[in-house]
Structure 1
Amino acid sequence: MLTLLALLCLFASLLPAGLAVVNLMVLRTPEAEPDDGLVSILIPARNEAGNIAGTVHAALASTGVPVEVIVGDDHSTDATAAIVTGIGDPRLRLSPVPDLPEGWTGKNHACAHLASQARGRWLLFIDADVTLQPGAAAALSARARQTGAALVSAVPRQRMDTLGERLTVPMINFLLLGYLPMLLMRRLPNPSLATACGQLVLFDAAAYGVTGGHGAVRGFLHDGVRLAPIFRRAGYRTDLVAGARIATCRMYDGFPAAWAGFSKNAHEGLATPRALPLWTALLGLGHLLPPLLLLAGLLGLMPSAATVLAALAFGVSLATRAAITLATGEPIATIPLHPASIAVALAIQWNVLLRRERAGAATWKGRSYPVGGA
């Protein structure tokens, strides 16, 4: 029985390993190409005084394409607006976001408002904690032109300065590169294969208007995941590219913030009665059980065949994580934390699922929203 369990663990670890090998070969950083099409860099900001100056200066330093930068001040109570106003670049505008209408979530409302103010052919939405490399806007718009995609997104290189961040944030790239078949995502128009990262996403402005843009997902919290399938249902192509060399982001500043942030997104992610048991089996067998079975084997509590299989599964799991970590520029120190990261990720999802009916709402940036969107 233990040998069969260890064999299942090996199979479960080989699935993301195989996908990661293919995905890392096809997921490339787009090359920046000069173009005269205006890129509107749109930054929703709510109490971002600690980040906004660096984010805006980096956006204004964009090369290869003309840019305008618009910051949507979403009722900040700190110095966000004053900092933006003080920068004083003619390509920069501060646009106060109107009061939040019923049925909207804050970020989607701010993004929709920013889009209404933009003049560019391309709309590049970035979070207020994202720092663009100079060629980022030119690279993403070039990729859109080359492939005909109306939506091109990327996951920035994630900065993680605390243990709590290193336990949680790497799961973004691990799940994406280990479990999304990129070749099928690009070759098939199926909306279920489409995804995007809301931290960094470029839209064709005309397609954004046709689909309704952020207005089409007004009641949801996870805009990146929701928008890409909508574009595909409308007949547009979407694409995902490597983002570690074109932008950097520090999502959270410690474990409490990371737990709250990933819990907010879990409401519309894995934390559903159908999806979470399957993901628990996949992640548990592939990444959690192997080190436990290996330890049991080393203590003489399992047959030698089961111990060997568990060791192979654990090795494959860590090798997959190492390959993804190196390719995405994440800290090497996060690799041995991988089993703990899986455990924390599942704990967040199960906590959200089990609390869903009692809580009834997700809270973020001082606002509460009904669970499940509008």
Structure 2
Amino acid sequence: MTGPLVALLVVAALTAHTVVNAGRWLRRPTDGPVECAERVVVLLPLRDEATRVTPCLRALLAQRGVPRLRVLVLDDGSTDGTADVVRAVVADDPRVTLLTGAAPPPGWLGKPHACWQLASRTEASADALVFVDADVVLGRYAVAAAVTELRAAGATLLSPYPRIVVRTVADRLVQPLLQWLWLTFLPLRAMERSARPSLAAAGGQFLVVDRAGYLRAGGHAAVADRVLEDVELARAVKRAGGRIALADGSRLASCRMYDSWPQLRDGYTKSLWASFGHPTAAALVVTVLLLLYTVPALVAVVALLAGAPLLAGVAFLAYLVGVAGRVVSARATGGRAWPDALSHPVSVAVLGWLTLRSYHLRKRRRLSWRGRPVG
């Protein structure tokens, strides 16, 4: 009885923290018409995105409220005709410049190098920079609203998390964990106020930075070899004396991160090891997550079959409180709550397996992404 009761109390506290984060501290930029008079440059790195980049580009061309907007696009060694698609979509729009990227030099990973090539161009001279991935589709006033929120927060870096589009069973099991994890375990108010680099989070799909503060932090050159370049950039900003903030960007942007289970599996596998650092830390965190969110559901079933209704009831209540936290997270970030939240114990188990796979493949030096080695 002690184990399920402890799990219930801890999960209840964490779910309460999720409620406070989502209801009180999570920033929510307006999705209505807003005007931004600043010079803003959107930076879009592309590598083999011919089949996905068109909606992203069209959304960028349709931006409103930012009269001084420019868009820099970098073709990062694509072999699928990505550059041709870009030319066809943007036509002769004077706001868009298409660049050809260079291969990353030793010590650089592909994504940080592509971002740094864009940010260090003279054409990127602006008040604010907006990094966007090819799988992100922005709302009409998304750029203006995000830059406005950056200034309102008094931050150097703002990460407005897009609404994650889910279509498959694998999506529904894994993708909602992104927002759930930071809403549940990261104290948002303390993160904004604290200068500690370890207290940081960010999502590179849609990232807004003050250009001067970005350069003071060293930009992506400061995170050249980091798999989680977005989180590490946020930490670099803090080290340079800047502030960071998170926001619910679900009303500003949507993102379909992966098209298939193999893509999703490999995408998480390449970076999970970097999320935890040392394998011992990963093992500890995963074990705690399983004990809190997966084991209670199993105990409830076994106890009920064994004729221990009280134990089954406590364990089942722990499971339900965990599901409640997942529901709160989904509703706060534009996600799908029902019935996906009911499978939360399975989601956490899949996360544990992906983490194990990540460390295993890294040890064997078999991690790669888009044809380039990582880790």
Q: Provide the TM-score with structure 2 as the length reference.
A: 0.94
Matched, 1:254 2:254: no
Task: Kindly report which structure 2 residues correspond to 1:170-189, keeping only aligned pairs within 5 A, or say none.
Answer: 170-189=176-195
Secondary structure in 1 matching 2:137: strand
User: For 2:236, which of 230, 234, 243 is the aligned residue?
Assistant: 230
**Aligned residues of 2:271 and 2:358 also touching (Cα < 8 A):** no
Give distance in 2, aligned partners of 1:53 and 1:222: 26
Counterpart for residue 69 of structure 1: 71
User: For 1:134, which of 140, 146, 157 is the aligned residue?
Assistant: 140
Deviations 1:134-181 (A, max 9, x none): 111111111222222110112110011111222211110111111111
**Aligned residues of 1:43 and 1:71 also touching (Cα < 8 A):** yes
User: For 1:99, which of 95, 98, 103 is the aligned residue?
Assistant: 103
| TM superposition shift of 1:310 | 0.5
Q: State the one-letter code of the partner of 1:35.
A: C
User: For 2:245, which of 215, 233, 239 is the aligned residue?
Assistant: 239
Counterpart for residue 17 of structure 1: 15
Counterpart for residue 217 of structure 2: 211
Give distance in 2, aligned partners of 1:209 and 1:186: 20
Question: What's the % identity of the aligned pairs?
Answer: 36
Give distance in 1, aligned partners of 2:262 and 2:175: 12
**Aligned residues of 2:138 and 2:253 also touching (Cα < 8 A):** yes
Q: Provide the TM-score with structure 1 as the length reference.
A: 0.94
**Aligned residues of 1:165 and 1:253 also touching (Cα < 8 A):** no
Q: Which runs of 5+ in 2 are unaligned?
A: none
Give distance in 1, aligned partners of 2:203 and 2:217: 18
**Aligned residues of 2:27 and 2:246 also touching (Cα < 8 A):** no
Q: Which runs of 5+ in 1 are unaligned?
A: none
Matched, 1:328 2:328: no
Matched, 1:363 2:368: yes
Counterpart for residue 119 of structure 1: 125
| TM superposition shift of 1:337 | 2.1
Counterpart for residue 80 of structure 1: 82
Give distance in 2, aligned partners of 1:273 and 1:83: 42
| Structure 1 moving runs of 4+ over 4 Å | none
Counterpart for residue 149 of structure 2: 143
Give distance in 1, aligned partners of 2:332 and 2:50: 31
**Aligned residues of 1:13 and 1:285 also touching (Cα < 8 A):** no
Q: State the one-letter code of the partner of 2:113.
A: H
| TM superposition shift of 1:33 | 3.7
Give distance in 2, aligned partners of 1:292 and 1:97: 51
Q: State the one-letter code of the partner of 1:6.
A: P
Matched, 1:48 2:49: yes
| TM superposition shift of 1:271 | 5.8
Cα RMSD between the aligned structures?
1.5
